[in-house]
Amino acid sequence: MTLHARILGAAAGGGLPQWNCGCTNCNLARAGEIPAQTQSSVAVSGNGRDWAILNASPDIREQMARTPELHPTGLRDLPLRSVLVTNGDIDHVAGLLVLRESQNFTLFATLEIHAVLGANPIFDALRPDCVTRAPVALDTPFELAPDLSAQLFAVPGKVPLYLEGAEVVTDLEGEQTVGVELRAGKTRAFYIPGCAKLTPALAARLKGADLVMFDGTLWSDDEMIAAGLSAKTGRRMGHISISGPEGSLAAFEGLGIAKRIFVHMNNSNPVLRPDSQERARVEAAGWMIGQDGMEVRL
């Protein structure tokens, strides 16, 4: 068995360019001077035939259309076996509404995330006679697709913006934000598009992995404030920064991970510019910046 992973969308919510943003990166992407990126999603397979999608972004129709491995093999036959969502964020669940066209697949999520989807009647468009909603317990292996197993685990994060109350906890650990461990044969890979910090327990879990696709939302905690785009820090949004003494570059040192890829980059992140100093620092540290269409086989 070989683990196949294809990044369908490498950007955070809003994509690159974001429709209402005139920041440097968005303007460069509109001009074709840096690659445009769609919103966060990854396709994975253990055999190259049967596929699962991790997070259904609002761009899922476009992403699937440009990915031959996900094209129909018959009139209504698809190699898509399941969809898994790692949290209830709009940029991870809105694409489910695009997948409502009477197509059979299994929808995996924690019980808490399923409850969020179940509370919104618009998701009833996913007909129960076609889409099986499968609750998954944390730290319990299950078959995500033929020849591919998965296991969900809690990572520090927060509830979606639309569920926030007066008090916001940004490093909450539970079923609301999860990472995914993937196994195909002896290969061990991880997908963690949202994470507030790398705890010792999480670092121990990731140590020695063959592949980690990790939250690369912001280069610095005050990035959006400094750019005049938002009053929120990365920490307030539930995302660890790449740089700094508590950032992911420093936190991953010494973990012995064979391949490390940043995903879920915000449109403001300077690592999206191939000629930036920040991009050079990331690559010098052994990381890759995810791109739409990037393929990894292990």
Taking phi first (over 0 means left), then psi (-120 to 50 degrees means alpha), and beta for anything else, what does residue 89 get? Answer: beta
Q: pLDDT, tens digit, for every residue of 74-108?
A: 998 999 999 999 999 999 999 999 999 889 999 99
Q: 146 phi and psi, to 5 degrees?
A: -50, 130
pLDDT tens for 157-204 read 988 878 877 667 777 899 999 999 999 999 999 999 999 999 999 999
Q: Which of these ranges, 62-66, 85-89, 228-232, 239-243, has the smallest mean pLDDT?
A: 228-232
Rounded Cα–Cα distance for residues 263 and 258 (Å): 16
- Three-state secondary-structure class, residue 224: helix
| pTM for this prediction | 0.96
Res 69: pLDDT: 97
pLDDT at residue 238 is higher than 90: no
Rounded average pLDDT over 243-272: 97
Q: What pLDDT sits at residue 171? A: 76
